Structure 1
Amino acid sequence: MNSYLTFKVVDEVFAVHVSHVMEIREYEKPKPVPQKVDFIAGLIEFRDEVIPLINTGLKFNLGSVEASQNSVIVILNLQKEGEEDDYRVAVMADAVSDVLELEEGELKSIHQEYKPGYVSGTYSKDGAFVFVLDPDQVFTRNDVIEMDKILAAAKEQ
């Protein structure tokens, strides 16, 4: 069995393996960044570091996640492609749903032609699709480089 945290982004439900989830917290307004990538909403503090807050709706081409009383921030620990270093990002979600317990055979694959690289499969729940993320593939190498530049610029201020 594998455990996945599910969360809503605009009108879609996504799931991420709980091993990547560091914390779930109430939405907080991020600190603005001068040179930002479209999907970066700003920066927030997490423990002893500053991390980017990702507008997940924009990243997934679903439209912007607008902050509401149900909005949450999910802190994820991710692996850089081809490197041993990990990094943390905060992702905005309209709401956290629940934790799914799934066996590998319950995940359905999506034809490669229609599947974004960061979706590893789907699960059908109550007549709706849950898109299961491969969180280490959500951000391209260029995305990570841009986030690193923004964080470095923020440290200089």
Structure 2
Amino acid sequence: MDTPTARERSATITPIHTARTGDLRVMEIVASALPVTLLTPDAPDTYTVTGVFSRSVDPIEAAILHSHTSSATITAAGFPGVTLHVSDRRLLIGNTNLDMLQAGLANVIGQLLLDAATTAVIRRQQVETDLAQALAADAERAERVRDITSTISFGPSRYS
């Protein structure tokens, strides 16, 4: 039985980066999740704002958004204490308010989302490249082994 060549194997790899398409962005804020006391004297200073993503977030993107680097970026932009948490297709923006979002926090988060998506694509492409190279190396090794084993004969020896 013939085994597939390295080229045939690499052709059967389904690209990982096609699993996520389109920009990652927050499409809207879930108004029903905001405190009912907003715009009243009893409104809290900060609260969690829930945003709806444009698509599912993959694990690499979520890890980037949950990272210390993202927190540091938000703090450096003038919004210390604000947190990001990915929950399914929702982004929970903690310790914030609508004023902060209007004052530029939304733009900072938008840039973080773009950076996370771009970094995730690059990482997935590197994984695909590494996998294709590993499969090609394995196929070449297997071909060398077959070449060697094909030269071995178990017939009677002339040297006995």
Both structures adopt the same fold (TM-score exceeding 0.5): no
Structure 2 length-normalised TM: 0.28
Larger fraction in strand:
1
Structure with bigger gyration radius? 2
Larger fraction in helix:
2
